[in-house]
Amino acid sequence: MDYRRFISYLYNYVDGEKGVNVGYIRCEQRHGICRLTLNLQDRQQGVEGGSYKVYLYKISKEGNPVGYYLDEFTLSSGCGELKKQTNCENVWNSNHRIEEFDGVVAIYDRGHAYGSQWSDEPLQIERFHTYQEWQKQGVTSGVYIKESEGLALHAAERLQPVEEDSITEQDIDGVQEEVSDQKEVSNQGEVSDQENVSAQEDVMPGQAAPMSRSDIAEATLRLMEQRPKLPDFDNHEIYDCVRIEPNDIGLLAMDNWRLGVNSFLTHGYYNYKYLMLGKLRFQDGVVKAVLGVPGVYDNKEQYIAKIFGFELFVPVKHTNVKTGNFGYWISEIV
């Protein structure tokens, strides 16, 4: 039996303006059951004691988020949580699967809300309507969803099946507890690109390498020649690093394009305004191209980075202790 999971980051919205990441939405599908978890911590902008109504939403052809009511939660001590489950084929009697929605919103009033999106459709939360409000405006047809080839491709990538023996309920609970126990949620993430969550062995660069054998696509090498150089690492196994932006990913080989909708990558760019493209020499001497998301190492970020396919952290400065040091979360590319 396949197991599917995706995580999408949750942001606060004040008077319609998107703020910082305050939590996450996690969706898990197994044995025909869809489980949705909302978890947030917001002691700055949240309405303490306020009751927030939670909706799944779809974007109408006019660009309005149209909400299907789920439930409510009360913000207590800056924290909010909601857990729901339903049938995968007809989530909460909506006649839709969860992938056909664009995200989740939680609304206290027009000035205080939270939003998360897992499609490419932009969320303009100030234009939000409930399904009932939307119907009263004279619209009688179903909510229109853009079903472009690109969006269908992204949806397929986000929900790749995972072998049953590659992840256990204990694994899921461990990740949940690690994220939920944090006092603050890091500003790392946006629409989620879902990755296979089976455990992978960390690949560490060697201290001394034999003759190098390059395994880098021509398109990647061309881009490296055209972009501004970044300072060298103390670790000489990673080198020839350049500064790029998310739209540069479209200049790489097509197999890398899925990274353009990877939430960990996009929000890393949101925080630091650049990404890193470079070469990494592995212990067997093979040199591969890598994409790096800038950030500061801590255990929670390591869990989140791995979920989104960034298995390795390389600090810029040589250190025996990674925690608190700036560097890059690394993913191989072709």
Dump pLDDT digits (tens) for 57-92. Answer: 999 888 889 999 999 999 998 899 999 999 988 888
pLDDT one-digit tens code per residue, 212-240: 455 688 889 999 999 999 988 887 788 99
Contact 280, 294 (CB under 8 A): no
Looking at residue 158, what DSSP letter applies? H
For residues 6 and 118, what is the distance between their CA atoms, to the nearest angstrom? 9
pLDDT score, position 202: 37
What CA dihedral angle connects 315, 319, 324 and 325, to 10 degrees? -30
Please report which confidence band the pLDDT of residue 138 belongs to, taking 50, 70 and 90 as the band edges: low
Please report which confidence band the pLDDT of residue 118 belongs to, taking 50, 70 and 90 as the band edges: confident
- Pick from 186, 225, 204, 220: nearest CA to 291: 220
pLDDT at 193 over 80: no
Q: Which residues contact 191 (CB under 8 A, 6 or more apart)?
A: 8, 9, 103, 117, 118, 119, 120, 261, 263, 266
Q: Which residues contact 141 (CB under 8 A, 6 or more apart)?
A: none
pLDDT score, position 214: 59
For residues 23 and 321, what is the distance between their CA atoms, to the nearest angstrom? 27
pLDDT score, position 159: 34
Please report which confidence band the pLDDT of residue 158 belongs to, taking 50, 70 and 90 as the band edges: very low
pLDDT score, position 238: 87
pLDDT at 334 over 80: no
pLDDT score, position 67: 92
* Three-class secondary structure of residue 266 per DSSP: helix
pLDDT one-digit tens code per residue, 269-304: 888 899 999 998 877 778 899 999 999 998 888 888
pLDDT score, position 270: 85
Q: Please state the rounded mean pLDDT for residues 205-218.
A: 54
CATH number for the 3-179 domain, one of 3.40.630, 1.10.10, 2.60.40, 2.40.160?
2.60.40
Domain span(s) for CATH 2.60.40 in the chain: 3-179
pLDDT at 197 over 60: no
List, in sequence order, every residue forming a beta bridge with 87; answer none if it has no partner. 33
Higher pLDDT, 331 or 175: 331
